[in-house]
Structures are given as structure tokens and as C-alpha cells.
Structure 1
């Protein structure tokens, strides 16, 4: 999608929001639905009255709806999900809902929904995530190129000495092998981050995911007098996530922490579990953020950097929300900043079903 296409789609947004209304009983059965449903899904609205509303939803997106029916969610709110269409595809929609008694339906509580087609918004958001991801990969590449060049220089030197018969071949072959494996590991992680791929929710070990991110981020700390420390529990912690997007979140947050530490210091990545939530705290010893700026962090185009557009953190917030998690910030000027990412825990063995709102 080019810039011209984005501009056209953005200006055309108000014309693309097709809406329909529906009333659903607390048993999940559709009581009524407006004829505008056909514009969004292609289905005849009358064919769905008396059927479960959840049958219209992608099976991975039904958790929020189940919570509303079971009284586990607020009585008013909104949620985004994929809705089935007559041609077999799924459309992204957003429903605003309210639960209240309705005289028309015997004064029993019902769920009233106003649903709009969000397909074009989701396409633009996906483009933004992809663009930000490529920008991040480009910024990492400079530090990684330096990290790869050093072992390559060493390997070249060893080969020249071997050819001259100056050094013992056996001993230095092991060193060269280790250097080559490190180059391979770094380049593989960079390629993984930069490779376009469809969203794929699966159970992942957080320690492993963070270790793979730190392979890249350690290359950014060299020469800056910054030490990266990890505090991980011995027990594996599992979450359901799109590993590519979640790595993008942690790369952005760790990168921001490193950039804030102009005088060097220690950046700490700490992992913990509290109840049914896993928390990753990224703590830097940088300049900190003033209170008046703290509440604006994560807003589009707001940044505390001299060079930056604020989109990186905005994308982080959105990705974490899509994983049913949240991000909090604590900061004091002159003392540093802590970004904490809290995500649903998938249990001690990762047995929770992989699902999300993608």
C-alpha cells in the first residue's frame, strides 16, 4: 500500500463505516438485527434471528463475548473481532454494546449492539505496524552490522594466520565456529523481525522470547557503557501471543531504554508472575520523564526524543491491547523509567488455548 493509497483510504474513512444494530438475549441468541447487516456481511439479516450471535464470530475472538454473556465484563463497552461473511471471508468489525432491561423483550436484560465495519481501519493499522517494524529493523541494522563485522575481521585474521602456518589450526577452529554461530543467530533474529507474516497466535515461553530479543539488543549496547541484566524465574512462563509482534514490542521498549541512558548504566529486564498475569518490567537508569509529559506517552506523534515520531510506542500499546494486556510507566526525572508489560499467563505448562483479538 503506497502513500497515495493511504491518503485516499484515510480521507474516505467516513464513507466506509457501514453500521448495523442487533439485540441479543443473555443466552446469546439473536432477537433482532437490522437489515444493514447485509451490507457488511452479505447475509440476509432475517436468516440469523433465533441463532447464536457467536456463530458469526471467528472462533478465536469469542472470549470477550463469552465474558459479556457470563457477566464477567462491564455492562457497557466495545470490542473488536472478526465477523463471518457470506463469501467465506472474515471482516473486522467493532461492536459497541450495552446490557439493560428492555420492555420490548419482557423487561429481561438484553445486549444491545451497534456494529461497524472496521476492515479498512484494520488494513491501515496493519500497514502502520509493518512500516514501524521495518523502520525499527533498519535502525537496528547499523549496530548489528558493527557487531557482525568484528567477528568477521577476527575470522579473516585467523584464516590468514592458518594459511601462513603461524597458529595451531585445531584450537582456533572452535573459536571461529562460535563466532560464526553468533553471526548466524543475530542475522536470523533480524530476518525474523523484518519478515512479513500473517498474525499467528501460539503459546510461547517468555524467557525464550526475551532471550532472542536480547541477542539483538546487546549489539546496541556495545560502546555505550551499558550493561543489560536479566532477572528471570527458573520456572518457564508461558503466554499466548504472536511472537513476531511481541518481539517488536520488547525491541522498541528496550531500545528506548538504551537511548535514554546517555551516560551509561544498567538496563534490567525482569520477568514475574502475579495471579494469572505475567509481567515484564524494563528498567533503565536514564534521564527519566517529567510528570507533565508522562501522561502523553503512547499518543500518536508524541515523543520526548529530538528525533522520533511517537509511532513506535503507539504501536506497542496497540499490540499489547490486542493481546488482552496493558503497559504501565513509572518514571522520575534523573532516576530512570520503568515500562511494565502485563499479559495473560497461559499457565505453568502453557495449556491455555491460544486466542486473541487479531
Structure 2
């Protein structure tokens, strides 16, 4: 029980924050939001995966990546390719010049499915691709940069450039990627209609559960020896290197793990929204993801989720009520949070969270009792 309490939940304050977040997204949102607003919340929570990955990279690792949209997009495109192939069966595309291929390929006079599309007809391969391809791409970038001790602002600029290059590549290869429009008209997942309200609700809960699991997995990493060394790398990189650790490997691992997390969010975005386009790969979404983490608190995994929800719900509310001023209002919201709460929303929790923690003290006392009983049983068994 001590592992669950300390590693997965983050102790007394972490457990309370986790319970509040889980209650908010699993109970309160579904009860009080209509299907449209719940769908918006689900879409926003997919962005939270990237924000959580930036807490690991930027907050704890000191690695500011301005290209998390790359991995978000790779995960989204991998899932979109599977869904598009399912929607492009010979029966559904019988009016095309070449039935059985995606419509945008037919429009661009491609007469055969490209070889790299063929494996995405398998759902199992697609799931593996969502996890492995972004991590592999991140490994290539990380190994090329960190092994040469490229970091700081240079690394941030390079990730931005890669995001631009990938966006231009996707747009330019219209016959293979759908171009500027992206991959659209996604209807079914293994025969199940994903456009219905019931399907979107199911995907919402899957997104919530995956996000909570990602937060717990991230906490396990951060509370381990790896997490302590990662913090040391952020603060005193040379000292860690002189102590005999391979700093580059630590950075590469957390960069790959962050890419995998972002890709999961991209895949869930495609399932919930029903399309994927290069507009989610470039510089703008990547910078917005950094803003989500900054507003929530770049040292807080849960804060990143709240930052994502606050900025995106604010963007929606302002754009609906003040269509000509919403950009200025959302900028003012960001500036106000950063100016008033330099540690983000997580700073408010650190200052006032003890009041809520006290109210949940019966839960933490139960965990402490179970942990003590477990330790006592181990001692008795050893005797």
C-alpha cells in the first residue's frame, strides 16, 4: 500500500488532488455537461496528454520542447490512417476511379495503395504504431541532439524547425496524406459508428482513464531514482555528468516517454473529433501546449490538466461571446495567471491545498493504516 500511496498518488496532497481531478472529469463533467460540451471537454483532455508530457520534459528535465505537436500529430495520423482505410472499402468507394483507396488518393490520380499505408489496415499494428513510431522518431531527434550536448534554446528552436518541416511535408504530399485538409470523413472503428453521441461519450471516458493512468505512470517515474537524477540534471547537469551518469540517456528516455504520451492524446483526438490535419502538427499547437503546462504549473502533472481545461474552455467561451476580441481576452487570461500566480494554478494548490487535504484526511489515514499493517505483516512473515 505504501507504493500506491507514495509512488502512484504522490502522498497526502497528491492523493487529494488526484481524487478531485478524477471526480471532476469522471463524475461532475458527465453529469452537468450536455453531449456537445462533454465532447469539447474530451477534446481538451486529449491536449492535456501533451501538457503532462511537457511537465516531465520542461518542468523536471529542463528540456523545453516546442515541437510536442509533432508527436501529437503522429499519433493522430496513425489512428486516422486506420480509420480512413476502414472507410475506404471497395463498397464505400465504388464511384471512384480506383475503388478501395482513400478518396484524396483517387483525386490525386494515385491508382494503388502506398506500401506504408498497408500495415494500417490492422488495428493491432495501429495501436503499436501510435506508441512506437513517435517514440522512435523522438529517439532519433534526442540521440542526435543530446549526445552532442545540444540543449536549452537551441533544442527548442530545432524542435520548432522540425515541426515546420513535418507540416510542410504533410501539406506537400497531398496524394499520400490528404494535404492541407488532412484525413477526414472517418466514420467507423471496426464497424462501430464513432460519430454517434454514445460513441463520443465512450471515448470521453476512455480518454479520462488513459489520462489518469498516464499521470500515475509519470509519478512513478518522478518519484523513482530516475526522477531524482532527472531533477539533478536540470539543476546541475555538469555535476551529474562528472558523477558518472550518462546525462544524454536520461534526456533521451524522458523525451521518448513524453512523445509516447503526446501520441496517445493525438490518437484519442482523432477518435473523438473524427479527423486529423497538419494544423495540429505545427508551431502554433506546440506553443499552445507549452502555455497549457505553464498556466497549470510546469512542476505539476495535475496542474497541467487544469491549465489545459482553463485555457481551452476560456478560448471557447470568449470566442462565442466576443468573436472579435477573444484572442486578446485569452492572451489577457494567460498573462494574468502568469503574473498573479507565477507557479501556475498548482501554486494555488500549494498555498491553499492543505484545507482540502484536511477534509480528505480520513482517506490518507486509511492508506497509512493499511501501509503500516502491510509492513507489520512483512516483518512477521520474515520472522
> TM-score per shorter chain, which class?
under 0.3
Task: Tell me: higher relative CO, structure 1 or 2? Use CA pairs within 8 A at least 6 residues apart.
Answer: 2
Higher gyration radius (CA): 1
TM-score by length of 1: 0.24
More helix as a share of residues: 2
More strand as a share of residues: 1
